[in-house]
Structure 1
Amino acid sequence: MKKFLSIFLSTLFLCLSLLAQEKFLRDTSFTTYSAFIKERKNFPKIQIAKLPLSKTSLEKLDIPFKDLGYRKLNLDITYPKKEKKGGYPVVILLFGGGWKSGDKSMCNPQARFFAEKGYVAVSVEYRLSPEAKYPAAVLDVKEAIRWIRSHTKEYNIDPYHIAVLGRSAGGQLAALVGTTGGVKKYQSGKNLFISDDVQAIIDIDGVLSFHHPESSEGQVASEWLGGTYVERPTVWDDASALNNVTNYSPPILFINSSNPRFHAGRDDMIKKLDEYNIYSKVHEIPNTPHPFWLFHPWFNETNNFALAFLNKIFK
């Protein structure tokens, strides 16, 4: 009887776990290839950016950093082989996809670029809207930051120099995570005694305000924020980095396409940063589609802008 009960409970747990995972199947509509097919209609000369791993770098994929019970969240780390006293600065990479699609592997070419230039690059998985609404993704990224600071020796990390870089929805997340360091309502998970502060932000075409005259965020944002602005105004405001700027906010770089929709709130945020004498810089690349960072001829230009900013802040 005990053996039967044990088998029954194990089977039940397995079924419930599979059901939970089935309920939260990823939306795979946004990939590098799908973006390429879409954008080459207007930009026929673009090419998908690929970068092999440098001989001076190491790469470890799918390292668990958070256990959700029914599945684990993973991150990828690309880092210099050579040991360095005090460790290397870190750049955390957040993929885009409208908070509903996309994958951390889309950041790997950029991660390899930064590792070759003397940074530990960490591509982070976070929960998307089909699985969990805001603020789940924010909590995931902050837990990844704490995990990184708790694994400094393994990857030769400098815990005092961490930047967060995001593209599109990941850019919005990067700006929000960077401007809410230590904020109690985003304190959840393990290692809460470790800081989730970052020392620099790079926002690549991520909106800074959801409810703004320049913003046209609608259904996709509503899916992540759990309702429309009329239904959840406080959430829309809280999730906007523009509303979280303080004198403790870190320096920020904005790299933008020529699409004004993805600049929403940027100029107002710069005005606030200027009031606190916090450094910011803008690079707006003309004649570019929204996901320009994925493709040549803009891949290297984007990364070089980011690298110059990081070197200015960290080195």
Structure 2
Amino acid sequence: MVSRRVILAAIVALLVIVGGLALTAGPMTLSVLDGLVGGGRGTARVRSGVPFGTHGQTLDVWRPSGGAREGLPVVIFWYGGGWVHGDRAAYAFAARAYAKAGFVVVLPDYRKVPSVRFPAFVQDGAEAVRWTRDHVRQFGGDPGRLGLVGHSAGAYTVAMLTLDQRWLRAEGVDLAIVRAAVGLCGPYDFYPFTAKRAIDAMQGAADPHMTQPIRFARADAPPMLLITAGDDTQVQPHNANNLTARLRALGAPVRHIDYPGLSHENVAMALSKPFRGKAPVLADSVAFLDANLKAR
């Protein structure tokens, strides 16, 4: 009789060969595939659906299932979806990836267009940082070793919270709490708005220039890693190229990595175990975070 494990392995192998299923069916399918091939081994979701903020937002908390019980570095991960789609449950694969690498991971939801416009999703991000500062110790995390990571629209939130000091200050959070930031295929310099999602998301901003992360580049910014995909047709590479150049000109610590041949979605997929061979997105981002989140 063929064992259940062999059957599962055959199914997973077929899905991985097909590959495009994870892309067309969305990140939830990717999380299922990741779980089937052991992406969650060595990790635990220790809280699910935790309320935070002032608008009914919720978050999950993941951590390594073994090893040190306290003092662990912390990552807050924001998913993408054009400010319109996405939910934390579908991005378990990303949380598990960073938890397996030794981080306590906070995975928050945020409000979406058309129910809200700028700056609501950035404000939700700031509230997630405040919650993490106040509560992450109970899960073994050290709020003094905090890094921000995001993909696409989530990378926009990362850049705004890292560079534009208005949002954390409004939540009473010390600006120095962010010690490192990683943006995966994020929009940082996209005004004038041409894409419908950007037009919708930024609609009504009194000064559209103030929606642009590059506007807030500063010499004392924490270290940033900006990752791009060579075949990204959704978020043009000039976003990261321009922000990298601006930060370097100011003397701020920044690194830019481009993965030729990858699409916008491929960069997120590469965080999952089935598709990690596409590019060392996880390894590169973890190395960057480890280097900058060392215990003081």
Structure with the higher fraction of residues in helix conformation: 2
Q: Does 1:312 align with 2:291?
A: yes
- Aligned mates of 2:117, 2:43 — CA distance in 1: 39
- Aligned mates of 2:32, 2:23 — CA distance in 1: 7
- Aligned mates of 1:47, 1:109 — CA distance in 2: 5
The aligned residue for residue 36 of structure 1 is 23
Q: Secondary structure at the match of 1:76?
A: strand
**TM-score normalised over the length of structure 2:** 0.78
Greater C-alpha Rg: 1
The aligned residue for residue 184 of structure 2 is 204
**TM-score normalised over the length of structure 1:** 0.74
- Aligned mates of 1:199, 1:96 — CA distance in 2: 22
The aligned residue for residue 249 of structure 1 is 221
Matches within 5 A, 1:1-315: 36-37=23-24, 50-51=34-35, 52-55=39-42, 57-68=44-55, 72-82=56-66, 84=68, 87-181=71-165, 183=166, 187-188=169-170, 192-195=171-174, 197-211=177-191, 217-226=194-203, 234=207, 236-258=208-230, 259=232, 261-292=235-266, 293-294=268-269, 296-297=275-276, 301-315=280-294
* Contact 1:89–1:161 (Cα < 8 Å) also in 2: yes
Deviation at 1:242, TM superposition (A): 0.5
Which letter does structure 1 place at the counterpart of 2:183? D
* Contact 2:78–2:155 (Cα < 8 Å) also in 1: yes
Q: Secondary structure at the match of 1:50?
A: helix
Which letter does structure 2 place at the counterpart of 1:201? A
* Contact 1:73–1:125 (Cα < 8 Å) also in 2: yes
Deviation at 1:66, TM superposition (A): 2.1
C-alpha change, 1:116 and 1:288, in structure 2 (3 Å) is same
Q: Secondary structure at the match of 1:283?
A: strand
- Runs of 5+ in structure 1 lacking a partner? 1-31, 40-45
Deviation at 1:277, TM superposition (A): 2.5
Q: Secondary structure at the match of 2:183?
A: strand
- Runs of 5+ in structure 2 lacking a partner? 1-18
- Aligned mates of 2:68, 2:276 — CA distance in 1: 33
Once the two structures are superposed, what CA deviation does each residue of 1:35-63 show, in whole Å capped at 9, x if it has no partner? 71289xxxxxx998514423354432111
Cα RMSD of the aligned pairs, angstroms, is: 2.9
Identity %: 23
- Aligned mates of 2:210, 2:236 — CA distance in 1: 18
